[in-house]
Amino acid sequence: MKAIIVGAGEVGTLIGRSLSQRNDVIVVDVDDHRIEEIKYELDVLTRVGDGTSGEVLEEVGVGDADLLIASTDDDKTNLVACGAAKTIGDPFTIARVRHATFKRTWDRTQRAFDVDFMVCSDLQTAETIVNVIGLPAAIDVDPFAGGLVHMAEFNVSAESPITGEVVADVDHFDSLTFAAVFRDEEMILPRGDTRIKGGDHVVVIGSPQSVQGFAQDIEPDKTPGSADDIVIVGGGEIGYHTARILEDRGFSPRLLETDERRARQLAEDLPGTLVMQHEPTDAEFLEREHVHEADILISTLDADEKNMLVSLLAKRIGTDRVISIVDHGSYVQLFEEIGIDVAINPRIVTAEEITRFTHTDVAVNVAVLENDQAEVLELEVSEGARLVGRTIRDIDRSIDADVVFGAITRDGTFIAPRGETVIEAHDHIIVLVEPSFVDQLMAMA
């Protein structure tokens, strides 16, 4: 597959890294220094130029490209790049936007601006935050098969009740598969006798209820209900969408915003949220509003240092769980090291979402785990495919790669995969697989 990426910032680079493993990738950016760096970072073709210009796009061969990803920091540039590409050829166009207004317009027809798929980074980040809140201890949550299946990655703390247990004892759920354990940045395929250690990242695939149940096993005290007190700090777009999605799910969050006019606007737009206008780093104020008793604090301010300050302050006064936005992808690890429970980088979230849609021919859905050490795919098995009629044990033996069958849905119902389960045509299978084997597996489905 031939893919063109317009914009070689963090998002474009992340996508380029993922795509270049099995596709021909061309990266276009106006910044020649950045292009120079990319040449040595990634195995891709590069071109300095304006991705919205027809000449540049023609030159890099958009006419026979399968995919164009517009991932610059500027919404309008991305939209124009998609429109320009469609005048020359017919690639599948993916645009990254920040502002939800473009996304809402696009959602009306799913074709607007000549964009075939649109990822709104603010919205995507807010959804990720809410998913992480819904499942405590989860680092990542992705729905598959229209929500019938959830994939979640959990951070198991040293104090967790399951620490020190073996997988066979912990797995008392009918419809849950332990897909992978990441320990010290290494992937382990769990077996019944694998012992879980503190600090492990455990990836499970299963029905939403069993994933929720497992989440409760990991952190029994932290399972949120509608009575839980959630505080959002920062009323930017991410803070706003987070509050809105939480409202939709029956929560009544509190939202702190410093600017008076913005606070008023938020209060008008969010009837189920208590908006407060105050400086969030004022410890006295946090005390007065009992923020230390809050179950969850989400920091969505516009600068990393502010987010870090607020998060540390909240941790210090005793807030249970602190989630923070991190603008620089390289700081994510730092944030988590100093005790912030989950650090979310909007660019990584966006890149992941876009990568999910780069396997459009067969895969419906993809989640990328731990710097692309593994991917979780949803495949629809076509009639006459090599997988049809074989048991999972049989398939496992014939494959020389790390593959875990996480879940199967058949006619809209969930099936827990076992060794003797036979794959049928039109099944949706959710599998965890190492990136280098994705194309081979897709050919089998």
Partner 1 sequence: MGGYVNVEWRASLGLIGTVMLYVSIPLTFPLLVAIYFGESVVPFVVTIVVTLGVGGGLRFVADVRDDMGPREAFLAVSIVWFLVAGIGAIPFLVGGQGTLAHPVNALFESMSGLTTTGATVLDDFSIDRSIMMWRQMLQWLGGLGILILVTAILSDLGVGGAQLMETETQTEDVNRLTPRISATARLILGLYLGLTLAVIGVLYGLHLIGLAPNMTLYNAIAHAFTSISTAGFSPEPESIAAFTPIVQWVLIPVMLVGSTSFVLIYYTIHGDPMRLLTNDEFHFYLGVFASFSAAAAILIYVFPELTLSQSATVRHAMFNVASILTTTGYASMDFTDWPHAAQNILFLAMFIGGMVGSTTCSIKSLRWLVVLKAFKRNLFTAIHPDAIRPIRVSGRPVDEETVRDIYAYVLLSIVIFFALTMFIVIDGARAGIHPSEFESMGAAASTFLNIGPAFGMAGPMDNYLGFPASTRIVMIVLMWLGRIEIIPVLVLFTYAFWRS
Contact residues: partner 1, CB under 8 A = 263-264, 266-268, 271, 274-278, 285, 289
Asked whether the CA dihedral 314, 316, 319, 324 is positive or negative, the reply is positive
323, two tokens: 């989630």
Judged by DSSP in three states, 24 sits in strand
Residue number with CB closer to partner 1 (190 or 280): 280
Q: 426 near 197, Cβ under 8 Å? A: no
Please state the length of the chain: 445
- Nearer Cβ to partner 1 (134/280): 280
> Is 56 or 275 the residue whose CB approaches partner 1 more closely?
275
Closest approach of partner 1 to the CB of residue 256, in Å:
8
The least distance separating partner 1 from the CB of residue 425, rounded to whole angstroms, comes to: 48
Which tokens is 287 given? 């005390």
Which candidate, 285, 280, 287, 338, places its Cα nearest to that of 306?
280
To partner 1, the closest distance from the beta carbon of 199 in angstroms equals: 39
d(CA 272, CA 252): 6
Roughly how many angstroms between the first and final C-alpha of the chain, as a whole number?
Answer: 18
Place of tokens 């809410």: 130
- Which of residues 147 and 271 has its CB atom nearest to partner 1 in the complex? 271
Taking the least distance from each CB to partner 1, the nearer of 146 and 272 is 272
| C-alpha closest to that of 130 among 5, 246, 23, 282 | 246
Q: How far is the CB of 287 from partner 1 (least distance, A)?
A: 13
Residue with tokens 């119902």: 413
- Closest distance to partner 1 from the beta carbon of 186 (Å): 47
CB of 267 to partner 1, least distance (A): 4
What DSSP letter does each residue of 314-360 carry, written as one string?
HHHHT-SEEEEE-SSGGGHHHHHHTT-SEEE-HHHHHHHHHHHTT--
Q: Which residue, 277 or 360, is less far from partner 1 as judged by CB?
A: 277
